[in-house]
């Protein structure tokens, strides 16, 4: 994969979606009729997605360093 600094910027920006995702789960917990188990599973899934987003940032960052695009 030939990543650019713009790919890195996009990947970092995507990490901010986690905040919106947390807000959505919060609203569902307060206003919805979801069970605790449903909310807990949503939070666990969100944690996994956030981990995947951060791993993508790390992969792109490492590739850019290896390629000399950033130092």
Q: What is the pLDDT of residue 16?
A: 94
Q: How far apart are CA 33 and CA 36, in angstroms?
A: 10
pLDDT tens for residues 24-69? 999 999 998 999 999 999 999 999 999 999 999 999 999 999 999 9
Q: What is the pLDDT of residue 1?
A: 67
Q: What is the pLDDT of residue 19?
A: 94
Instruction: Give the Cα-Cα-Cα angle 47, 53, 59 (nearest 5 degrees).
Output: 135
Number of domains making up the chain: 1
Domain range for 62 is 5-67
């Amino acid at each position: 994969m030939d990543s650019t600094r713009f790919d890195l910027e996009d990947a970092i920006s995507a990490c901010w979606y986690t905040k919106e995702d947390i807000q959505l789960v919060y609203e569902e917990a307060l206003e919805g009729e979801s069970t605790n188990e449903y909310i807990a599973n949503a939070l666990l899934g969100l944690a996994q997605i956030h981990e995947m987003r951060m791993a993508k940032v790390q992969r792109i960052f490492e590739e850019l360093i290896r390629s000399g695009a950033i130092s």
